[in-house]
Amino acid sequence: YPDLLNFKEADYELTAIRMIAKIPTIAAMSYKYSIGQPFIYPDNSLDFTENFLHMMFATPCTKYTVNPIIKNALNKIFILHADHEQNASTSTVRIAGSSGANPFACISTGIASLWGPAHGGANEAVINMLKEIGSSEYIPKYIAKAKDKN
């Protein structure tokens, strides 16, 4: 949308909506690329979370059926991330914005700040912990280990 590079204050909302709408598509495309699978296009008949799961896990020859429990959990995760308030990437975006940079440049700085281990790396640590736990039968043992002060 090169027309939005020369934006006026009235364009901020449209620019923000367009950028937010593209984030799940970019994330899913990056994931698919990282695992050597073809990109799956968004499906406008699906809601936000269903569409994200579809783009992440469908293949050109296999339809992905959304598990309602997974969808509900992911919806809650998205809400928690959106309401994370003044985290590192939010601060970075606000600092860049205060200099008058355009919204695309500001969002790019926020994405760049996710690279650090104290911000985006924390999410990676959670994924590694979940892999270490393995399955639900090991959760009580893992919690006991976390509570053990010795």
Q: What are 24-74's pLDDT values in tens digits?
A: 999 999 999 999 999 999 999 999 999 999 999 999 999 899 999 999 999
Name 123's Cβ contacts closer than 8 Å, sequence gap at least 6.
none
Question: 68 near 49, Cβ under 8 Å?
Answer: no
| pLDDT tens-digit readout, 136-148 | 898 898 889 889 8
- Which pLDDT score is estimated for 18? 84
Of residues 58, 54, 102, the one with CA closest to residue 74: 54
| pLDDT tens-digit readout, 2-28 | 665 666 667 777 888 888 888 899 999
- Which pLDDT score is estimated for 42? 94
Q: How far apart are CA 58 and CA 127, in angstroms?
A: 21
